Amino acid sequence: MSEGAIDQRLLIGHCQTVSASDSVEHVFEIFRHNGLEFLAIVDGERLIGMCSRHAIDSLLGGRYGFSLWARKPIAEHVAANETRIVVTSAITDVLREVFARDPENFYDDVLLVDEDGRLLGLISTETLFKVQNALLLANICQLEKKEREIREKNEQMESELRMAMELQHAMMPSGRRAATYRTSTTVTSRPASSAATFSTSSGCPVPPRVSLFVTCGTRSQLCAHYRDVARAHRRLRD
């Protein structure tokens, strides 16, 4: 369910109304027979507001309540702080407004009107709760889908990078591949009479008791390293 796909007219619970001139007693009988909690009050096509079952029961249930209020017009007992929403409003704006209401009228129905203010119907708060939950679940599913797509793209990029590195290594000349290595050489101590001296192809001696860990990309870099080691050895010997 996406926010733009919600037609608020489909959320309408009922469209039952009473006339502004109807008596409180008449409205009480309507509530008693239809089981609704809220009714819209209209004057012709003009929306006046709405009334609630609870308010009418409290009004007539008090001492002398029936004799005082039964014949009064319902227009005198319109519910305070009603919520009207226009059918073209974004559902996120509707939910934000409805769920920011005060506790005393938090569970009141919402009046849905057209752009000219004419009544379309009443929407219950319970229905809006269900819409909010559906939107949250849809957002969670969308986020999980995007996360999977990102993870798959990362895995694909890593695989392509490994293939590119393997291809680059395979296309490298054989001499250069042989020179691209990591070597570790350790010369152990021997008696002075049998001390071994190693030399490279360039004639640079490598002293005993020297541990080498060389990582180089070319043969010239390897020879330069051996020359540096040889110079250090001669300085120590002199």
CATH code of the domain containing 31: 3.10.580.10
Residues 128 and 200 in one domain: no
pLDDT at 204 over 50: no
Residues 98 and 196 in one domain: no
Residues 190 and 128 in one domain: no
Domain annotation covers residue 111: yes
Last residue in a domain, options 132, 163, 196 = 132
Domain annotation covers residue 188: yes
CA-wise closest residue to 116 among 93, 82, 87, 75: 87
d(CA 119, CA 101): 21
The per-residue pLDDT for 223 is: 56
The per-residue pLDDT for 58 is: 92
Confidence of residue 218 (pLDDT cuts 50, 70, 90): low
Residues 80 and 8 in one domain: yes
Strands (E), the chain: 17-19, 38-43, 46-52, 84-86, 110-113, 119-123, 181-186, 198-199, 205-206, 211-216
The per-residue pLDDT for 161 is: 87
Residues 118 and 38 in one domain: yes
Place of tokens 């009988």: 29
Residues 188 and 121 in one domain: no
Last residue in a domain, options 100, 132, 164 = 132
Confidence of residue 210 (pLDDT cuts 50, 70, 90): very low
- In single-letter form, the type of residue at position 204 comes to C
Domain annotation covers residue 222: yes
Domain annotation covers residue 181: yes
Q: Poorest-confidence range of 1-5, 178-182, 222-226?
A: 178-182
pLDDT at 91 over 80: yes
Q: Which domain holds residue 16?
A: 3-132
Confidence of residue 97 (pLDDT cuts 50, 70, 90): very high
Domain annotation covers residue 20: yes
Q: Poorest-confidence range of 87-101, 168-182, 213-227?
A: 213-227
d(CA 125, CA 137): 19
Residues 25 and 87 in one domain: yes
Secondary-structure breakdown of the chain: helix, strand, coil percentages, each rounded to the nearest 5: 50, 20, 30
Residues 67 and 185 in one domain: no
pLDDT at 21 over 90: yes
Domain annotation covers residue 93: yes
Domain annotation covers residue 140: no
Confidence of residue 187 (pLDDT cuts 50, 70, 90): very low
Last residue in a domain, options 132, 154, 185 = 132
Domains identified in the chain, total number: 2
Domain annotation covers residue 157: no
Residues 29 and 90 in one domain: yes
Q: Poorest-confidence range of 13-17, 61-65, 98-102, 118-122?
A: 61-65
Tell me the pLDDT tens digit for each residue of 146-174.
999 999 999 998 888 888 887 777 777 66
The per-residue pLDDT for 65 is: 87
CA-wise closest residue to 30 among 59, 52, 11: 52
217: Cβ–Cβ under 8 A, 6 or more apart, which residues? 176, 179, 180
